[in-house]
Structure 1
Amino acid sequence: MEFIGLDYTTLRVIWWLLLGILLIAWAVMDGFDLGVGTLLPFVARTDDERRLVINTVGPVWEGNQVWLVLGGGAIFAAWPPLYAVSFSGFYLAVFLMLFGLILRPVAFKYRSKMPGKRWRENWDRALFVGGLLPALIAGVAVGNVLVGVPFHFDDSMRIFYTGTLIGLLNPFALVAGLVSVAMVVSHGAAMLVLKTDGPVAERSARYGSVAAVLTFVLFALAGVWVAFGLPGYQITSQVVTDGPTNPLLKTAAVGAVAGGWLRNYQSMPLTLLAPILGLVGALASAVLLRARRGGLAFLASGASIAGIILTVGFAIFPFLLPSSSQPGSSLTVWDSSSSHLTLGIMLIATAIFLPIIIAYTSWVYRVMKGKTTAEEMGDNPNAY
């Protein structure tokens, strides 16, 4: 059976790619917002400097979060079992992430409503937490995907999650969380170098270059860990790519094997371009930040973020969420999607609306281009 000329297998792969694209878009577009918030206490010393930093992202942060909404919506509509397992199993972690994401807009809106020093400093701390916490939790979640998550289904497809919040904070996941924080901090620093001048830009370049080097080191460390110390998962039964959505239809267990996450790189060498992009982009960002080339540094750090996310996606394919407690319950691209008809209809809707979102976002950034200055803030009644 085909829909719009595409068979079920092809539609599943397309939606796997679209999910990756949406996650990259969120990490790149909203990532610099998170990085700017995390850098706020370090690159801005006075109230005027803090307002300058905040207003570099003030006009665009709300629009950037659209990509997070799209990513969550794509998981809900295209991969229902993944949505059910991850959002229920990671409930406390998701709550902490949402707490940071909710705290951030409140801080943006209320910080400059009163002139008191303590009032503004408390909201500055809120912006720091609202930047750091989501980036850390998102990285920890990705780390746990590689480690495997303790969940299983019973015969009636009810989900049972047997892990804890503390269990999610395992050593590898914490390293992945640090990679996430470092990459968004370097990305945010690049935006500040691009959008500001003077002491703020100087400090941003200094801190950002250190964060970019840490991104390189931590990502390389995580890669070595995956290659030599972290078992990957492998399907041992015959793979049916166009079968019904039911993870329990696998006829053999999906087990963890040494070096399992490297098999796609061995069979498809072109996928090695992803980790290379992640590493080279991070180093290039560090060099360009030192040279005060904000625009190029922003492109380099964005490329590094894309490379890091693609590295994980290529490594685990066709897995979406491996189960560490019952490997046969692991969710894969081939047994966790919506129906063929649903995927086809959503693809048509995506082909219509995604270009509109990209065009509107491009127009906004074109209108908002240029440096953010103290004079501009003084003349703009809508400035934070």
Structure 2
Amino acid sequence: MLDYPTLKIIWWLLVGVLLIGFAIMDGHDMGVGTLLPFVGKTDDERRVVINSVGMHWEGNQVWFITGGGAIFAAWPLIYATAFSGFYWAMMAALWALFFRPVGFKYRSLLKDAQWRRSWDWGLFVGGFVPPVIFGVAFGNLLQGVPFHFNELLMVSYTGSFWELLNPFALLAGIVSSAMITLQGAVYLAHRTEGAIQRRAGTAALWSAVLMVLGFVGAGLWLRYGNILGYAITSVVDPAALPNPLGKTVERNADGWWINYAKQPLLWLLPLLGIAGALLAAVLTRAGRTLTAFVLSSLAIVGVIGTAGAAMFPFLMPSSSHPDASLTVWDSVSSHLTLGVMFWATLIFMPLIIFYTGWAYRVMRGKITVEQIRANDHSAY
């Protein structure tokens, strides 16, 4: 079996892969939902938009469910603390997600125009709200979350829901929403043609510009604003058993930039996020949609990777008691648990990727208004 410190790093990487996979795969479903009321001008056009993701969205939920399960199993303290501090935010995201399965299943059951418009806006809520909330959560992580532990490691959260909606976190929410909308716009342009494709290309351009401006703005705010980073100042034993109270942490202006100073190659991550988004938008407008989708996916890797590299080894910093901050080294499960999960992941993740690729290959191709009209009794 792999040693404990190695497994801790591996699971930091694997959870990152699951989050990125969720943003890429379920993200383009959400992005399409966000664009639904705007790129589809008629009922037939909106059915084209819905059918572009209708066959895949349920399968893509696997990334979301697996990511949540992995956090619960690999980082139980993170799971418990996050649901204490972000409880109402998590509930809001889940309530918004409820609109997706119901909207997909119920929208086309009646031919009433008002009925269908209502579910179109429900699908918009299900696509727009969760990425904003997830971005706001990341924005709060970068600032620190007010929580602490007692001697029995029982967590207490001292903040409120409204404190989560601070200006920097809202900016992070805008970046997240624009990133997911870009992914959906590029995918939609790849699966459609004509007027819908042109509108999706325009949406991709504006989303990319908004994402890049917000991403760069957030970085400058972190560097030159009043947001302090975190740094461990005591000796850390990577092989030690989990104990979030066994270290000393200080806050300083350079905390989130230490890793970039030590490893300059990490600057490729934000460059990938910026360049990938802008090139994806340009190529979408030029009709090279498959390459654009790859680039928009790489932009997601760059943005999420930028945040992860900046925070490492921190996972959930504490603003009220910095020494209680949760890190890769002290918030994980046992050696045995991480080892068993690693081998299970090594077996099942390739199967999920293979099946997903096969499904997309079988159901590839353009979706047109003519097809929708010829199959008026289809599920969507």
1:243 and 2:240 matched: yes
**d(CA) in 2 for partners of 1:293, 1:182:** 21
2:163 corresponds to which of 146, 162, 167: 167
Residues 53-85 of structure 1 show CA distances to partners (whole Å, capped at 9, x for unaligned) of 000000000111100111101100000000000
Aligned pair count? 378
Deviation at 1:236, TM superposition (A): 1.2
Give the whole-Å Cα distance in 2 for the aligned partners of 1:147 and 1:207: 31
- Separation in 1, partners of 2:48, 2:378: 13
Could you tell me which of 272, 276, 279 is aligned with 2:274? 279
Relative distance call for 1:259 and 1:118 in structure 2 (3 A) is same
Paired residue for 2:335? 340
What TM-score results when the alignment is normalised by the length of structure 1? 0.97
Return the letter of the residue paired with 1:283: L
Matches within 5 A, 1:74-113: 74-113=70-109
Q: Secondary structure at the match of 1:249?
A: coil
Structure 1 position 101, deviation (Å):
1.2
Deviation at residue 294 of structure 1 after TM alignment: 1.5
Give the unaligned 5+ runs of structure 2.
Answer: none
Kept in 2: contact 1:233–1:255 (CA 8 A): yes
| Alpha-carbon distance in 1 for matches of 2:153, 2:378 | 51
Equivalent position of 1:291 in the other structure: 286
- Aligned partner letter, 2:55: P
1:133 and 2:133 matched:
no
Of 205-214 and 19-28, deviating more is: 205-214
Aligned to 1:8: 4
Q: For residues 197-212 of structure 1, what are the structure 2 equivalents within 5 Å?
A: 197-212=193-208
1:374 is displaced (CA, Å) by 2.6
1:317 partner letter: F
Are residue 151 (structure 1) and residue 144 (structure 2) matched? no
- Render the CA deviation track for 1:158-177: whole Å, top value 9, x for unaligned: 11011111100111110100
Partner of 2:229: 232
Offset, 1:231: 1.1
How far off its partner does 1:380 sit?
Answer: 7.3
Which of 348, 353, 359 matches 1:353?
A: 348
Give me the identity figure in percent.
56
Q: In structure 2, what is the equivalent of residue 311 of structure 1? A: 306
The partner residue of 1:41 within 37, 41, 50 is 37
Contact 2:186/2:281 (CA < 8 Å) preserved in 1? no
The letter of the residue matching 1:265 is: Y
User: In the alignment, what sits opposite 1:265?
Assistant: 260
Provide the C-alpha distance between the structure 1 equivalents of 2:160 and 2:250, rounded to a whole number of angstroms.
22
Q: How has the CA–CA distance of structure 1 residues 66 and 380 changed in structure 2, closer, same or farther, with 3 Å as cutoff?
A: farther
Task: Render the CA deviation track for 1:314-353: whole Å, top value 9, x for unaligned.
Answer: 0000000000011111000000000011100111111111
Alpha carbons 1:193, 1:293 under 8 Å: kept: no
Correspondence for 2:191 among 181, 190, 195: 195
Cα distance in 2 for partners of 1:243, 1:271 equals: 28
